[in-house]
Every structure is written in structure tokens, then in C-alpha cells.
Chains A and B, each alone.
Chain A
């Protein structure tokens, strides 16, 4: 068995999941991952989508030519690789999308966001795929703000009402995406995979403890003549932004999580602040965006004014 810590959970896996943070093997696992037969369909599903089915606390997900995954009660994942699938590809989906769905099933708030550490607090950037959240987080990483999460941010509200995120070292989004986008022939080449793995996986930046959230920014692309800026949406829009930026928004409905996201959204809006970051897309605009963010962090008390 391999032991990992993912979004604060102790995970025991029958298969090696490269890129995850090693966990304590003596801790009782909260989630187990095993290689076992998985059906193509569930008995008496209540809800059926193109790639998934739900029946009670069982959720079946199929990624064609990769594997089928059966998630039960937020506690176990069984997977069966489809013929010819590379085990490493299966591993990437297990630690990426499949775990994201499991977090929804556990009734946790999970955002499609990247996060960096600013003044001891987590600053989150959320947006749809292609919105530039990884690019922005990577650019901030180069400026000395450690990257603490990419693609998935699991949020919990502490007993004191402070929203926190579980830092984790998974930075597999680009890797997973590349598997989806590259052809099968290229997929089989380990060179690309190994290069991506080395480049994007950096568990050194992860921290053992949950980190309080300092601010959440929803990324918004603007075009001329709109001016870049950071604005605080009204409380209704702020609360909705959290739901829109869930890891899998449709799962909020499937797993009856509306109230959880509502409570989370209002708590974050009231404590850390939810903002809209309006900027032009593209690499040229990055320095200006980072300068704008730094100014905002000073304004909201996350960072001290530059001397």
C-alpha cells in the first residue's frame, strides 16, 4: 500500500500515484484506492450523464480508453483500466479529476482554483479552464509567492468560522490536460510525461497545515476599451461566484450541496473577501496584473506597503 495526503485526507492506495504528497502510513486511511472490477453501469441509477451515473452513495465515472472509476460514500475509489490504457495515465486521473469528484461526494467545498501564499494566507484564483489561473499562479511563484494548490482547492470552514484551504502539492492539471490533448502515440512516450512531471510537481511548496484564506479572485477577461481593475461584487454575486467556480458545478446539484456552497460563499465574502480580477488575457499583461494585485494586497492588509 502507498500512503498519501490529499486535501488533508489520509489516502491508502494499491497503486503508486506520482506527484501526490506522501502520507503517514500509520494513520488510518480516510480514503482507499484499489484496483478492482468496475461495471459499465450501476443498478437502478437515479441520475445518468454522458460519462457518469449516480445511485445513492455510489458514483460511477468513465473516462473512455483510460478507466472506469467507482466512488463509494466518499471513502473508497475502485478503478478498472480500460484495455491498453497506460497505468500512469490512470494514476493522473485518479489523483486529479476523480479525487475532485470524491471531494464533492464528501460534501466538501472544492473550487476550480489555483492558490499562492501571500503574507501567510492563501490567495485563490478561480476561473474556468483556460481562464489563466495556472499561468498567473506560476508567474506569482516566480516572484516569490509559493504555489500551494493548483486546479483544485478544498475549502473548509474552521470551528472559529475562518475559511481555510488544505494545501496540496498536486500540480497535475497541465499533465492531465496534455494526456487528453496529445495523440495516443505521443501519450505512450514517457519523455513528455516525465518532463511535465518534473516541471510541475513541486511538493516542497506544500504545507502540512490548512492555510487561512486571505482573498479569492474570480478571473475575468476584458477587451478594449474596458480597463483592468479589481472590484468587489455585491454580496449576491460574490456568493454566486463560489458556486460558479466549484470544481464541477453540476455536482453541486447532483450531490445536493447548494446549502454548503451558500454557507461557504457567504463566510468567505464576510471574512476574506471575494473579488473580481478584470484583466486582459495573455502573457504581456502579466506584469501589470501582478503589480495591480500587489497594490490590492496592501490595501486589504495581506501585505505591507513596498518600501
Chain B
């Protein structure tokens, strides 16, 4: 399961999202799709359910979607913005 992590302030600028860690003051900028993913994972969920949702909303094939989501989640993980826990 993907969970949001840390204390982030987030604000929309156009269709993009800019986030700042309240504790550390570091920043992340998200594209419109990234902003949508951040919105979706407000509810903790699996990578599979997240990808299903994105494939339904955007014109993308499942394999490409999965690869890009994995890379995106890895980036969020590096910034300590998410935690991934095994589903039980």
C-alpha cells in the first residue's frame, strides 16, 4: 500500500502542484498527472489500483503507465513524501 508521508504543504499553480516539506523546507513540483496521483493517494492504495485508475482517466497503455508510476513513486520516496507498506 502507498501512503503519503511527512508534513507537506501543497498548493496548485495552474494545473501543477508545488509542495513544500514544512519540517525541512524542501520543495517538489508535480505536473498535472503527478498532482492527480498525489490526490489519489490521499487514500492509501496499491500500485495496481492506482494504475487502474490512471489508465481509466488518461490515454495510456497499462505497461507504460506502470513504468512511469513506479518511477514517480520512487521519486516521491526519495523525498520521503510516501511510504510503501506491504499489503496484508
Contacts and interface: CB of A to CB of B under 8 A. Distances in A.
Contacts of B40: none
B9 A263 contact: yes
A259 interface: yes
Interface stretch (B16-24, B52-60, B69-77): B16-24
A97 interface: no
A266 interface: yes
Interface in A229-267: 234-236, 238-240, 258-259, 262-263, 266-267
A270 interface: yes
Contacts of A262: 9, 11, 20
Interface in A267-304: 267, 269-270
Contacts of B14: 235, 270
A217 to B, nearest CB: 17
A270 B13 contact: yes
A234 B29 contact: yes
* B interface bracket (residues with beta carbon within 8 Å of A): 10 to 19
Given A258-B25, A259-B9, A262-B11, A235 B20 contact: no
Contacts of A238: 13
Contacts, number: 38
A236 B18 contact: yes
Q: Which of B9, B12, B14, B25 has the most CB of A within 10 A?
A: B25
B22 A269 contact: no
Contacts of B18: 235-236, 239, 266, 269
A263 B27 contact: no
Contacts of B13: 235, 238-239, 266, 269-270
Contacts of A235: 13-14, 16, 18, 29
Contacts of A240: 27
Interface residues of A, number: 14
Interface string B19-49: 0101001011100000000000000000000
Contact of B20 (A239, A267, A269, A270): A239
Nearest to A266: B11
B23 to A, nearest CB: 9
Nearest to A243: B25
Contact of A236 (B12, B22, B25, B29): B29
B27 A236 contact: yes
Nearest to A240: B27
Nearest to B25: A258
A235 B12 CA distance: 9
Contacts of A236: 18, 27-29
B49 to A, nearest CB: 28
Nearest to B29: A236
B71 to A, nearest CB: 18
B24 to A, nearest CB: 10
Contacts of A259: 9, 20, 22
Nearest to A259: B9
Nearest to B14: A270
5 contacts: A234-B29, A239-B20, A266-B18, A269-B18, A270-B14
Given A239-B13, A266-B11, A266-B12, 7 more contacts: A238-B13, A239-B27, A258-B20, A258-B25, A259-B20, A262-B9, A269-B18
Interface of A: 234-236, 238-240, 258-259, 262-263, 266-267, 269-270
Interface of B: 9, 11-14, 16, 18, 20, 22, 25, 27-29
Q: Which 10 A-B pairs have the closest CB atoms?
A: A266-B11, A236-B29, A235-B13, A270-B13, A235-B18, A236-B27, A262-B20, A269-B13, A235-B29, A235-B16
